[in-house]
Structure 1
């Protein structure tokens, strides 16, 4: 594989991307910093095919990233391969409003190959290639320039190994006939709605202080205000106001801006500064949530009786057994909320009751819940037995 020098100009990048559009897939990775900003700061992009690889400096003066972005989000002929690519996809979405597609995430594929639920990149490479990665540059400040050779070599290695591992994983998936198991997971990862939300929905990501409609109305308004401030100033949300302070303001609304100086987590300057005034405007504009806006008491989770909770525990045990037998990660087969729903009596709309998940787990899970399957102990070992059908006289 040819490794190019760091690309810092538009012509070299355009020529690289033109060649890569003829490949069946590209391996992609990014380096970024986000400790001190709301938006992740893109610092380096690495890309590889089986023939060549390069690191691209997005901070280089005058470089035009458009050919690269077009390849990632508009070219449906080239598969984009990531490992644990959620944050990489978020960065691309921030730049384009789109998500790379079609895509393949090797961390998700590793679940179908029995390599673990959230296998790290280093462990994946060691497992698949027997190669230990140099971890010396993990904590690099990628925003600083110039980058030295060791940093660039470290970054490029991520995609050169990925381009080697990916075809091997595909072959294993073909032999195990599990490739189609991943389609749903990959499409969920590529859903743009995962990376975009309105400030008005920011409150839904917080731990709610109560179910009081007035308190939640203030929390909704304050969370939207904070989101707007954080985006506008490009600062982490917690640098504007921490979650605990936001909940306190929602639960005990300040009557005047002067009261902000008494709130734990806010400085005395909030009594008379502009940001304090905008906070008070958000409080004043808040309205109690209507009945249809109130969150469920336990979102997405059916109420479990004590007996149903025990059934849920048995289902989770069954899942562990079936996942071990199939050699896949349990989370790929079923999520906890679906198991609890099944235990609570839900039958409609559950992924585990259709397709390959039904064959691997759902059929037995349904039998367990409905009394056709039981656990037992024989010679000190756990075993499952099926209930005999009762003879019915004609």
Structure 2
């Protein structure tokens, strides 16, 4: 599919979405700018069905996106994306809803052995045998008018996707791996994945210790930074970096003038309004309640023996995933392996469902001493161990 239309009016968008609503699935992608802002600046929206393709210009003065929003909420139309997290975040921010139902071809690629976080270019090459020119990837999508080469590049993100999706779906059916994706797709559609609670931003940071006063200040500072960044529409780390907030939490200044000597803060904060707000946050931050302080396991590294066991589990995971042709990241995360190595059994995804059948039962056997590695004829082997 090489032809497409550029949509700049609400009437044309309404007509397009009415046609797309009669299709069983549509491909969806966006182009946006975010380097210098907190909120993404939506610049283009690309859509395609098996019958047509279009680029929607959200910056067009005579365009309302309401017809598109209705299509994204239409449960009868499957929305196909590739690594769609940031695109979905944009639409959630605009509508308060996550487009659904969804199918992410990057996740499907992980289940089919394309590798972890397989890129769109690689997916298209492996599925369709087509090489994509990514020359216009790094471009200023906010500038108008857009060049033809930019539009031609942008539409390729959905025209190839609409062709690759049926082939991926067929391979998933042939291998019986469709159910493997259910949990990941559900997580993709969970609104909690796209909400940002300033009061919880401290959890994303490297915690310095378990001192209630320090953590209370860090929580208050992280929430303050998030709200300031939102209000100024600046990237949070452009405003204040994580390490600076941690330093302030550990060593709070005596007065506002002292802020001018804090590494990572502008000297002007020693006397201006934003500096005054920062100091007030520090002075009024309550200690973190005991029940909110993270468990010690999060604050410290694994013990020596548990760390060695975790390394063996990672090797086992690699072996099993190579045998099955599946990306390890889809099976489990490193922290799950570390939890299993430390003795945890409850609440681990690898100990239930398809993950247990393909990896978890062997992982459990290894940590319980019923499965071991050996080397035979220069090759690594796994073998069962007889009970003592």
Q: Distance in 1 between matches of 2:295 and 2:337?
A: 19
- Does the aligned pair in 2 maintain the 1:125–1:161 contact within 8 Å? yes
How far 1:249 moved relative to its partner? Answer: 1.8
Partner of 2:168: 169
1:148-169: per-residue Cα shift (whole Å, max 9, x none)?
1111110001100000000000
1:162-188: per-residue Cα shift (whole Å, max 9, x none)?
000000000011111101111111111
How far 1:259 moved relative to its partner? Answer: 1.8
Q: Distance in 2 between matches of 1:356 and 1:128?
A: 25
Q: Distance in 1 between matches of 2:93 and 2:201?
A: 17
Task: Please point out which of 359, 363, 368 is paired with 1:370.
Answer: 368
Taking the TM superposition and a 5 Å limit, the aligned residue runs for 1:59-208 are 59-72=59-72, 74-208=73-207
Q: Distance in 2 between matches of 1:296 and 1:131?
A: 49
How far 1:197 moved relative to its partner? Answer: 2.3
Q: Distance in 1 between matches of 2:9 and 2:247?
A: 50
- Does the aligned pair in 1 maintain the 2:371–2:385 contact within 8 Å? yes
Deviates more, 1:212-221 or 1:226-235: 212-221
Taking structure 2 as the reference length, the TM-score comes to 0.96
1:185-236: per-residue Cα shift (whole Å, max 9, x none)?
1111211111112111111112223332112111111111111111011111
Q: Where does structure 1 lack aligned partners over 5 or more consecutive residues?
A: none
How far 1:373 moved relative to its partner? Answer: 1.7
1:272-315: per-residue Cα shift (whole Å, max 9, x none)?
2211121122122211112112122333x997443332222222
Q: Is residue 213 of structure 2 the alignment partner of residue 228 of structure 1?
A: no
Residues 1:387 and 1:249: Cα distance change in structure 2 (over 3 Å):
closer
1:324-369: per-residue Cα shift (whole Å, max 9, x none)?
1111111212221222222222222211111111111112222222
Task: Please point out which of 298, 313, 316 is paired with 1:315.
Answer: 313
Taking the TM superposition and a 5 Å limit, the aligned residue runs for 1:206-225 are 206-225=205-224
- Does the aligned pair in 2 maintain the 1:303–1:344 contact within 8 Å? no
- Does the aligned pair in 1 maintain the 2:5–2:53 contact within 8 Å? no
- Does the aligned pair in 2 maintain the 1:302–1:340 contact within 8 Å? no
Aligned-residue RMSD, C-alpha = 1.7
Partner of 2:242: 243
Partner of 2:349: 351
1:229-269: per-residue Cα shift (whole Å, max 9, x none)?
11011111123222222222222212222222222222332
Residues 1:157 and 1:202: Cα distance change in structure 2 (over 3 Å):
same
Q: Distance in 1 between matches of 2:81 and 2:22?
A: 19
Q: Distance in 2 between matches of 1:79 and 1:27?
A: 8
Q: Distance in 2 between matches of 1:242 and 1:347?
A: 37
Deviates more, 1:259-268 or 1:188-197: 259-268
How far 1:146 moved relative to its partner? Answer: 0.5
Task: Please point out which of 331, 334, 337 is paired with 1:336.
Answer: 334
How far 1:2 moved relative to its partner? Answer: 7.0
- Does the aligned pair in 2 maintain the 1:29–1:47 contact within 8 Å? yes
Q: Distance in 1 between matches of 2:268 and 2:100?
A: 47
Residues 1:264 and 1:165: Cα distance change in structure 2 (over 3 Å):
same
Q: How many residues were matched structurally?
A: 388
Partner of 1:33: 33
Residues 1:387 and 1:222: Cα distance change in structure 2 (over 3 Å):
closer
Q: Distance in 2 between matches of 1:182 and 1:231?
A: 34
- Does the aligned pair in 1 maintain the 2:47–2:55 contact within 8 Å? yes
- Does the aligned pair in 2 maintain the 1:302–1:341 contact within 8 Å? no
Partner of 1:259: 258
1:17-38: per-residue Cα shift (whole Å, max 9, x none)?
1110111111111000001100
Taking the TM superposition and a 5 Å limit, the aligned residue runs for 1:3-22 are 3-22=3-22
- Does the aligned pair in 2 maintain the 1:28–1:45 contact within 8 Å? yes
Q: Distance in 2 between matches of 1:2 and 1:138?
A: 19
Q: Distance in 2 between matches of 1:51 and 1:103?
A: 20
How far 1:62 moved relative to its partner? Answer: 3.1
- SS of the equivalent of 2:244 reads helix
